Amino acid sequence: MLRFLIHLSLLLTLFTSLSLCQTLHTSDRYILNSRNQRVRLRCVNWAGHGETNIPEGLHAQPLSHITSWIASNGFNCVRLTYSIDMALNPHEPVYQSFNNAADGTGLGKNLTDLFKKAAVKNPWLLVATTRSTYAAVIASLGARGVMVVLDNHNSKAGWCCSTTDGNGWWKEASGYVEANSRNFAVQDWVNGLSAMAKFGKTFPNVVGYSLRNELRTVQGQNNADWYEFVAKGALAVHQADPEGLVVIGGINYALDLGFLREKNFDRQRLGIEKKTVWEFHTYSWSNSQTANCSGYAPILDSAAGFLLESNKPYTGPLILSEFGWAQDGPTQGEQAYYDCLVGWVEEKDVGWAYWALQGSYYIREGRVDYDETFGLLSRDWKDWRNESFVDVLGGLWT
């Protein structure tokens, strides 16, 4: 334990000396810092919402290697995902979390052996908890000047997302469907958001909190419930950390915020009118026009781009918080998709977060050390899987 505490103390000291306290707010369609200077988010998603309840990749490389790679390759922000399971059980030792995942998935020794590899690369994990592991990751990013947005990806830890994983829509909403909502209890979610915001508040580089990843309904469930429950989550986060941004996504797997044009979300009533950031996702499979720029752009405008219009009840900053494609060799359709999307993002001048950083997962869909072909990092987490990514994004880096 002493070695771990010394390690974390050194990280925090470095973090404090090198990082500037980032208190961000919004004005019209922009995110600004305390000096009212524009802040453009250039982020990458780093998953931690799986069954092991810690950020991926610590079996492959030392933490410092991963965070240094992020910072040295131009990213100023990480969207760091977590589950409510982890948020409400912060003191679970990491080794126990791996043991529980091994038992729960039937993967046994294959998964526990992965923890042993992680402990070789990062010996402090031997005495770390899931929460203290998040603390070490955030501190290491902060020491390198990288901001963090904590993203609640799911309630029950595991791969996301489907309409049968029980994480899709609030359990207490109208039209309960067990397959889509059985794990998504409102009070647990609110408690988890509050716990993570209180935790995040202690780190100057935690600048915001995404309320929930890819909300999704099935037949019989009512999108009108979005307003009530999003307000509960937003208030919980804002009360726990009034300085943090509140990042809010829409419906249909975060593809659609278009309903806000017809019915406004009252940010002023919640006291978050200067703290709200809208988020949305889009992938090559999201609609039939992703390879046709003239058809794709109007869809993006209607679903989310309109939120950038000045002086509207809904006006606010927008971040494309998930987009991605196969880094091992994109198809022609994917190439057309990213050409269209990059052009749209550059024209609209919005923030972004690529899915994903991780070269692999400890466990995904029943497989250990699962290779992530969308990952920017190679399977061994050493370096770029495909260096052409930098050129593909072009002007989005500036």
* pLDDT tens by residue, 330-388: 999 999 999 999 999 999 999 999 999 999 999 999 999 999 999 999 999 999 999 99
Q: Which residues of 328-367 are buried (b: 16+ CB within 10 A; e: fewer)?
A: eebeeebebbbebbbbbbeebebbbbbbbbbbbbbbbeee
CA distance 246 to 272: 7
Which three-class secondary structure state does DSSP give residue 75? Answer: coil
Confidence of residue 223 (pLDDT cuts 50, 70, 90): confident
CA distance 93 to 384: 31
Confidence of residue 21 (pLDDT cuts 50, 70, 90): low
Which three-class secondary structure state does DSSP give residue 125? Answer: helix
Each residue's pLDDT tens digit, 80-105: 999 999 999 999 999 999 999 999 99
Is the pLDDT confidence value at 209 over 90?
A: yes
Is the pLDDT confidence value at 322 over 70?
A: yes
Each residue's pLDDT tens digit, 44-79: 999 999 999 999 999 999 999 999 999 999 999 999
CA distance 153 to 213: 5
CA distance 63 to 74: 18
Q: Which of 152, 236, 229 is CA-nearest to residue 191?
A: 236
CA distance 352 to 114: 32
Query: Within 220-331, where are the H helices?
Result: 225-240, 267-270, 293-303
Is the pLDDT confidence value at 13 over 90?
A: no
For residue 24, count other CB atoms closer than 10 A to its CB: 20
Name the helix (H) or strand (E) containing 339.
helix 332-348
Q: What pLDDT, on a 0 to 100 scale, did the predictor assign at position 16?
A: 39
What distance lies between CA 60 and its chain's CA centroid? 21
Q: Which of 376, 254, 384, 394 is CA-nearest to residue 338?
A: 394
Each residue's pLDDT tens digit, 170-197: 999 999 999 999 999 999 999 999 999 9
Question: Distances from the Cα of 9 to the Cαs of 1, 2, 5, 126, 290, in angstroms?
Answer: 12, 10, 6, 17, 47
What is the arithmetic mean of pLDDT over 133-145? 98
What is the arithmetic mean of pLDDT over 25-51? 98
Q: What pLDDT, on a 0 to 100 scale, did the predictor assign at position 398?
A: 87
Burial category of 398 from C-beta neighbours within 10 Å (exposed 0-12, middle 13-18, buried 19 and up): exposed
Q: What pLDDT, on a 0 to 100 scale, did the predictor assign at position 222?
A: 82
CA distance 142 to 121: 21
What is the arithmetic mean of pLDDT over 153-176? 97
Q: What pLDDT, on a 0 to 100 scale, did the predictor assign at position 6?
A: 36
What is the arithmetic mean of pLDDT over 268-272? 98
Confidence of residue 8 (pLDDT cuts 50, 70, 90): low
CA distance 85 to 108: 21
% of the chain with per-residue pLDDT over 70? 95
Is the pLDDT confidence value at 7 over 50?
A: no
User: What is the 3-state composition of the chain as percent helix, strand, coil, each rounded to the nearest 5?
Assistant: 40, 15, 45
Q: What pLDDT, on a 0 to 100 scale, did the predictor assign at position 224?
A: 87
Q: What is the mean pLDDT of the chain?
A: 94
* Residue bearing tokens 């990514």: 389
